[in-house]
Chain A
Amino acid sequence: MTQTSLPRSPDLAVVARGLVKTFGGARAVDGIDLDIRRGEVFGVLGPNGAGKTTTLRMLATLLPIDGGRAEVFGVDVATRGHEVRQLVGVTGQYASVDENLTGRENLWLFGRLQGLSSRRARTTAAELLESFGLHEAADRRIATFSGGMRRRLDLAASLITRPPLIFLDEPTTGLDPRTRGQMWDTIRTLVADGATVLLTTQYLDEADQLADRIAVIDRGRTVAEGTPDELKSSVGTSTLQLRLADRERTAEAAEVVRRLLGEEPARTPEAGGLHVSLTDADRAGDVLIALREARLSVASVSVAKPTLDEVFLALTGHGTSDSSPGTDSHLAQEAS
C-alpha cells in the first residue's frame, strides 16, 4: 500500500484519501476521499449498504482501516486512535446508551469515564438533560424511553466533553416527523456552537436541510460531491409544476405542452397536475402563454429545482430504493 500524503490545512477537520474496508471479499468502502472543513455540516448521503456507516466507524476508530489514510485535525486515525477518540463524539445508528441505567446515570458514567470529577459529571448531566428536554425522564431507566428520547440522550452523551467533531450516524432514522424536526433543530444548534458535524443519512431532505456540503456515495464510492444546490443544478433542469383549474382537460393541456416542447409532461398522481421538465427555466413562460392561448386555465404554478431524489437517480442510474439488500449495519456487525 502506498503512503499517500494528505493535504494539510488548519481549516480541515477531517481529511481522508482512498479509504477502503473489505468484509470477506466484498469492498464495503472502496476508495473514499473526504475533505471536511471546520465548522461545517458535512452530509454523507447514500442508500442502505452504500458504505456510509462503515466509513464513519473507520473514522471514529471503531473499525480498523483496511486501505488509505485518514486524519482528524491532523491526527492520524490508524496510529493515534486514543487521541482521535478525544476529538470525536459519536452518536450511533443504534442508541449507544446503557439500558440498565437511568438517563442521568448514563450521562454521569460517560462523564466520569472521560475524567470529569463526580460533581462536574453530575452538573454536566443535569445541564444536558435540561437542554435536551429530558429533564422529566432523567431518573427513569432507558428501557422505558421512546425512540426519540433515546436518540436525544445518545446525542447528549456525545457532547459531554464538547468534542470539536461530532459524528451522527443516521440521527433520525426511524423517528416520527415531529421528533425528526426537533433533532434537526438540535443539530443546527451544535453547529452554531462551532462544532464540525459529519452526518450520514439516507434521507435526501435531511441532507438538503442540514448539510453545507454533501458527498453522495453508492456501493462504497463517492459518486458526487458539492453543496446541495450544486448537486441539484448539476442535473441541469428545473421542473415546472402546474395544476389545472379544470382537471377534465389535463390530456388536452399535456398535448399543448408536447407540441410546444416536443416532450411529454409527467402527470402527477393528484388529478390535474402536470410536471414539465425544462432545460431552461425561461421556457416556463412559453408554456404558460401556450396554455392561455388554448384557453386552459391554471390553478397553481411553480418552478422548482429538482429534488435530491432526482439527483440521486441521475448520478447513479438507479433510484435510492433498489440498491443491494446488504445494509451498513449488517456489514458492521459481521466485522465485530
Chain B
Amino acid sequence: MTTLIAPAADRAAVERALDPTRDLQPRVPLRAAVSQTLSMAWRATKKMRRNPEQFFDVTAQPLLFTAMFAYIFGGAISGGVTAYLPIVIPGVLAQTALTACMATGVQLREDMDKGVFDRFRSLPVARIAPLAGPMVADLLRYTTAAVLTVAVGLAMGFRPGGGVLGTLGGIVLTVVAGWSLAWIFTWLGTVARSAQGGQGISMMIMFPLTFLSNAYVPVDTLPGWLKAFVQVNPVSHVVSAVRDLMNQGAVTAQVGWALLGCAAVVAVFAPLALRSYSRKL
C-alpha cells in the first residue's frame, strides 16, 4: 500500500504522523481568536433562539419598569408623567442594560458547569473566546432592551428633543455601556462557586449601581456623602450622557466621561475575568 508519490495533502499528513509536534503553534493568532469568539457568539445566538425565555428580562422588564417608574415617581419628581419621561427613560435604559448584563454573567456561570465547557477547555482555543463569545451575542439582548424602552416611552408621550439621531445615539451608548459593564458580572460569574451564588452577589452590586445613581432622582436631593458616590458611579455618567444625547442631541463632556468609565471597567474586569477563568482549569 506504500505509494512513493503521495499528493501534497497526504504527504503533510504522513509527516505529521511521523512527527506530530511539527506544526504546533505556541499561541493563538489574533485572527484565530476573533474567529473563535464569533463561533462562540454563533453558539450563543443558537441557544437564545432555542430558549426564547432568555429574552424575558429584556422584553418584559423595559415595558414594566418604564410604565411603573414613570407613573410612580413622575408626579413627585417632575410634577407630571410627561415631564418626567425625559429623565426616567434614560434611567430605565441604564437599569435594563444592567439587568441584562447581570444575566450575561449568571448564564456564563451556568454554562461553565456544563460538560461542553470541558471540551472548550481541552481544545486549543483562545481563552477569551468562551467568555467574549456570549458577550458579543448579548449585544442583541441589550439592543432589544434599549429599543423596547424607548418605544414604550414614545408610546407614553416621550418626545426626545435630540431627534432621531440623538435617540439612536442614546441607544447605542446604552448598548456599549451594557457590554462594558457585563465584564464585571462575567468576572463575578467566573469567581462564584455556583450560578446561584453568582446571581446573589450580582444583585447586591446591580441594585446599588442603579439606585445610587441619578437614574430616577435629581442628585441635588441627596445627602452629601451619597452625592459623592453618585457622582463617581459610572452608571450616573451613562445616564447623564444618554439624557444629553436624547434630549438635546448634544455630544457633551458627559458622553466622554461615560465612554471613559466604560473603558475603565473593561480594562479592569476583562483581565480579571480572563485570569480567573484560566485558573479554573
B4 within 8 A of A: no
**Complex contact A110–B123 (CB within 8 A):** yes
Which B residues from 196 to 245 make CB contacts under 8 A with A?
none
A97 and B116 in contact, given A62-B122, A113-B129, A115-B32 (Cβ under 8 angstroms)? yes
**Complex contact B39–A109 (CB within 8 A):** yes
**Complex contact B123–A85 (CB within 8 A):** yes
Interface string of A220-233 (1 = CB under 8 A from B): 00000000000000
Contact of B124 among A62, A73, A97, A114 (CB under 8 A): A114
A101 and B122 in contact, given A87-B24, A164-B20 (Cβ under 8 angstroms)? no
**Complex contact B123–A92 (CB within 8 A):** no
Which B residues from 12 to 29 make CB contacts under 8 A with A?
13, 16-17, 20-21, 24-28
Which B residues from 94 to 108 make CB contacts under 8 A with A?
none
B69 within 8 A of A: no
**Complex contact A80–B26 (CB within 8 A):** yes
B275 within 8 A of A: no
**Complex contact B121–A62 (CB within 8 A):** yes
Contacts of A62 in B (CB 8 A): 118, 121-122, 281
Q: Which residue of the partner chain A has the closest CB to B21?
A: A73
Contacts of A81 in B (CB 8 A): 281
Contact of B115 among A73, A92, A101, A114 (CB under 8 A): A92
**Complex contact A98–B116 (CB within 8 A):** yes
Count contacts on B: residues with CB < 8 A to the other chain.
Answer: 36
Q: Which residue of the partner chain A has the closest CB to B50?
A: A100
Contacts of B123 in A (CB 8 A): 85, 110, 113-114
Contacts of B119 in A (CB 8 A): 90, 92, 96-97, 110, 157
**Complex contact A194–B17 (CB within 8 A):** yes
Contacts of A164 in B (CB 8 A): 16-17, 20
Least Cβ–Cβ distance between A15 and chain B, in angstroms: 14
**Complex contact B281–A96 (CB within 8 A):** no
Query: Which size class do A's interface residues fall under?
Result: 35 or more
Least Cβ–Cβ distance between A14 and chain B, in angstroms: 12
Contact of A64 among B47, B115, B281 (CB under 8 A): B281
Q: Which residue of the partner chain A has the closest CB to B49?
A: A100
B35 within 8 A of A: yes
A331 within 8 A of B: no
Contacts of A115 in B (CB 8 A): 32, 35
Q: At the interface, is chain A mostly helix, strand, loop or mixed?
A: loop
Q: Which residue of the partner chain A has the closest CB to B113?
A: A336
CA distance A45 to B116 in the complex (A): 25
Least Cβ–Cβ distance between A63 and chain B, in angstroms: 7
Least Cβ–Cβ distance between B278 and chain A, in angstroms: 10
Interface string of A25-66 (1 = CB under 8 A from B): 000000000000000000000000000000000001111100
CA distance A82 to B278 in the complex (A): 12
Contact of B24 among A86, A97, A98 (CB under 8 A): A86
A191 within 8 A of B: no
Least Cβ–Cβ distance between A198 and chain B, in angstroms: 13
CA distance A110 to B125 in the complex (A): 10
Q: Could you list 9 examples of A-B contacts with CB < 8 Å?
A: A81-B281, A83-B25, A86-B124, A92-B115, A100-B51, A101-B47, A112-B39, A113-B120, A114-B123
Q: Which residues of B approach A to under 8 Å, CB–CB?
A: 13, 16-17, 20-21, 24-28, 32, 35-36, 39-40, 42-43, 46-47, 50-51, 114-125, 129, 280-281
Given contacts A73-B20, A96-B119, A97-B116, 4 further A-B contacts (CB under 8 A): A62-B122, A63-B281, A162-B13, A164-B16
